[in-house]
A = this chain, B = another copy of it.
Amino acid sequence: MRYFVTGAAGFIGSHLADRLLGAGHEVVGYDNFSTGQPEFLQEAQRSPHFFLVRGDTLNQDSLTQAIGRADFVFHMAANADVRFGTQHPRKDLEQNTLATFNVLEAMRANGVHRIAFASTGSIYGEPDIFPTPESAPFPVQTSLYGASKLAAEGLIEAYCEGFGFHGYIFRFVSILGERYTHGHVFDFFKQLRDHPDELYVLGNGKQRKSYLYVQDCIDAMLLIIEKAQEKVNIFNLGTDQECEVDDSIDWICDYLRVSPKRIYSGGERGWIGDSPHILLDCSRVRELGWQPKLRIREGVIRTLQYLEQNQWVLGGRS
């Protein structure tokens, strides 16, 4: 099989490329390196079956040419940071919604009909039901990020109905692990490296979240595209476990052997559009035989180990 992976130099995309290559497939990686890192592709580029195209998902012609004769598209490229939406609302619209439209049109132009999409549990907004199933009541969006991903989901579904596509929509919790380049573990590690005595925490520390280790995430995606054969296949991906931000801080401080004073910005939400409670019902993917190998704490520790050994990733964006 020949897979086309957008965001192939990103956190999840690069692991996915490695795994697909390891399973004997061809991979065409597509990335504009705005947040993707060439270093993440070092392993992939040792394979003769890996092809890298430097391009932007907003460039329709480049995308159409690059997709070419792919059998399957993993659309992982995105503006993945939910926090700064109100600072630049057009960014989520362009990089998540319009980019997905461009990918779909590029696929249609090439006669490619199978797409998997990295969506997010953020599209449930602030749900009333926990754990939240895929069939939760029609949600109200609370972030531009969530809105932009919801829009992309809708486009994919409409292409499935209208153009005979098969779609796989994965609603992730936050993903942790090697090559992790943003999020709370990243921020806290960076802060504690620079000033071990103080930790600034967005919100009151009581936000309850779920996290999934990146290899568990990829296990699930690869199992789902093999086993699920509906026109539209929607799956939550997370663990059955949740933790408070304060729990995660405890684990991080224990690991780093620091005892900072914790300074909370306060409020139930860390930022505008932050969901104070995220826990997804993942029984649908579990029924296919998947279960995560790592618990949240183990995922946090793996992430810290990676950051310790790869402090260059802290240098750039946060």
Contact = CB atoms under 8 A, between A and B. Distances in A.
Interface of A: 85-86, 89-90, 93, 97-98, 101, 104-105, 125, 134-144, 146-148, 150-151, 153-155, 157-159, 161-163, 232, 234, 272-273
A269 to B, nearest CB: 10
A57 B173 CA distance: 36
A165 B90 CA distance: 17
B163 A141 contact: no
Copies of this chain held together in the complex: 2
Contact of A161 (B136, B141, B234): B141
Contact of A163 (B86, B105, B146): B86
A155 B147 contact: yes
Contact of A138 (B85, B134, B141): B134
Given A138-B138, A143-B158, A147-B158, 17 more contacts: A85-B162, A89-B101, A89-B162, A90-B101, A90-B105, A137-B137, A140-B157, A141-B157, A141-B158, A141-B161, A143-B161, A144-B155, A147-B154, A147-B155, A148-B154, A150-B150, A150-B154
Contacts of A148: 154
Contacts of A141: 153-155, 157-158, 161
Residue in A135, A154, A155, A159 with the greatest tally of chain B CB atoms within 10 Å: A154
B144 A162 contact: yes
Contacts of A85: 158, 162
Contact of A140 (B140, B146, B234): B234
Nearest to A154: B147
Contact of A139 (B101, B138, B273): B138
Residue in A97, A139, A151, A273 with the greatest tally of chain B CB atoms within 10 Å: A151
A93 B103 CA distance: 14
A247 to B, nearest CB: 26
Contacts of A155: 93, 141, 144, 147, 151
24 contacts: A85-B158, A86-B163, A89-B159, A93-B155, A97-B97, A135-B138, A136-B137, A136-B138, A138-B138, A138-B139, A140-B232, A140-B234, A141-B154, A141-B158, A141-B161, A143-B161, A144-B155, A144-B158, A144-B162, A146-B154, A147-B157, A150-B150, A150-B154, A162-B272
A135 B137 CA distance: 5
Given A139-B138, A162-B144, A151 B97 contact: yes
Contacts of A101: 89-90, 93
A162 B105 contact: no
A162 to B, nearest CB: 4
